[in-house]
């Protein structure tokens, strides 16, 4: 019995005030959950570069892996997200080697192995694909890439062969020390010239690029730098929406 002499089973525990409190609690928890969702989604937002996409011949969804604490150069194509008219895209399920990919760091979109949207561009000879470099645009200067143009030896003769061999080995050792990687062989390096340069490193700020050139030239290489910033994008729903918006205009 309660204090009014009524049986407890007739007592209604769900009063209007308690009902309002319950509804308010559910709404509050829902709001907190939504805020948590926004934090997770926007903590590292993926923002596509419109100029890069507009200079691309196609965009692919790939599965990328890691090798030596950097993106592995070979990816598996999972989907052709977009292709320009007249472009024959590679087959879904095939492997594609992207020479620029190992130089892509966290600042350029690498978040570890997983799925990525990668803008691609055909080579000048139309016989290969690689990541599209970011072009110049108002208020934006892309990072640089350093290339080897030659060995600094005017003409290879029997007399200069020994010096050429020493120079090649010295350059290879310098490249390995600077980049912890050797993207080309000694035989490749002997072929270097204005029409066939070899990229040492991409996505470099100005000062590191100049320092790298100085070290390579001290080893006997002829070098130059040019714009060479390459980005990739984690394949989030928001990134896909951005791609659709950019390419539909």
Where residue 243 sits, what CATH number does that domain have?
Answer: 2.40.50
Question: Do 133 and 242 lie in a common domain?
Answer: yes
Assess contact for 101 and 129: CB atoms under 8 A.
no
Question: Do 70 and 104 lie in a common domain?
Answer: yes
Task: Quickly count: other Cβ atoms within 10 Å of residue 144's Cβ.
Answer: 23
Closest CA to 81 of 113, 45, 115: 115
Where residue 214 sits, what CATH number does that domain have?
Answer: 3.30.1390.10
Domain that holds residue 217: 144-227
Distance in angstroms (rounded) separating the CA atoms of residues 231 and 242: 15
pTM tops 0.85, yes or no: no
Question: Do 58 and 134 lie in a common domain?
Answer: yes
In a domain, residue 6? The reply is: no
Q: How would residue 20 be classed by pLDDT, with cut points 50, 70 and 90? A: confident
In a domain, residue 9? The reply is: no
pLDDT digit string (tens) for 126-150?
A: 788 999 999 998 888 999 999 999 8
Closest CA to 101 of 133, 144, 140: 133
For residues 61, 65, 71, 72, the Cα torsion angle rounded to the nearest 10 degrees is -100
Question: Do 65 and 116 lie in a common domain?
Answer: yes
Which pLDDT score is estimated for 2? 47
In a domain, residue 10? The reply is: no
Q: Are strands 198-204 and 233-234 parallel, antiparallel or unpaired?
A: unpaired
Closest CA to 162 of 223, 222, 224, 220: 220
In a domain, residue 8? The reply is: no
How many domains does the chain contain in total?
3
Closest CA to 53 of 89, 81, 74, 34: 81
In a domain, residue 7? The reply is: no
Q: Give the angle 11-12-18 at the CA atoms, nearest 5°.
A: 135
Question: Do 129 and 187 lie in a common domain?
Answer: no
Question: Do 27 and 101 lie in a common domain?
Answer: no
pLDDT digit string (tens) for 191-238?
A: 887 778 889 999 999 999 999 999 999 999 999 999 999 999 999 999
Question: Do 20 and 128 lie in a common domain?
Answer: no
pLDDT digit string (tens) for 34-86?
A: 565 555 555 568 899 999 999 999 999 999 999 988 999 999 999 999 999 99
């Amino acid at each position: 019995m309660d204090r009014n002499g009524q049986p407890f089973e007739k007592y209604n525990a769900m009063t209007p005030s308690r009902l309002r409190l319950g509804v308010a609690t559910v709404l509050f928890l829902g709001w907190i959950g939504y805020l948590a969702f926004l934090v997770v989604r926007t903590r590292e937002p993926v923002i596509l570069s419109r100029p890069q996409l507009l200079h691309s011949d196609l965009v692919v969804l790939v599965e990328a892996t890691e090798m030596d604490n950097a993106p592995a150069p070979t990816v598996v194509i999972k989907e052709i997200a977009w292709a320009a008219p007249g472009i024959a895209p590679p087959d879904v399920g095939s492997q594609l080697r992207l020479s620029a990919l190992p130089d892509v760091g966290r600042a350029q979109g690498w978040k570890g192995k997983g799925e990525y949207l990668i803008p691609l561009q055909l080579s000048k000879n139309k016989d290969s694909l690689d990541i599209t470099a970011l072009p110049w645009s108002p208020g934006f200067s892309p990072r640089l890439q350093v290339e080897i143009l030659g060995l600094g030896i005017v003409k290879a003769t029997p007399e200069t062969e020994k010096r050429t061999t020493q120079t090649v080995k010295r350059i290879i050792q310098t490249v390995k020390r600077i980049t912890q990687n050797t993207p080309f062989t000694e035989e490749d390096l002997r072929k270097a010239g204005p029409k066939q340069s070899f990229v040492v490193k991409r996505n470099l700020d100005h000062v590191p690029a100049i320092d790298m050139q100085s070290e390579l030239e001290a080893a006997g290489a002829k070098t130059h730098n040019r714009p060479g910033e390459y980005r990739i994008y984690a394949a989030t729903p928001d990134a896909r929406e951005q791609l659709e918006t950019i390419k539909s205009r």
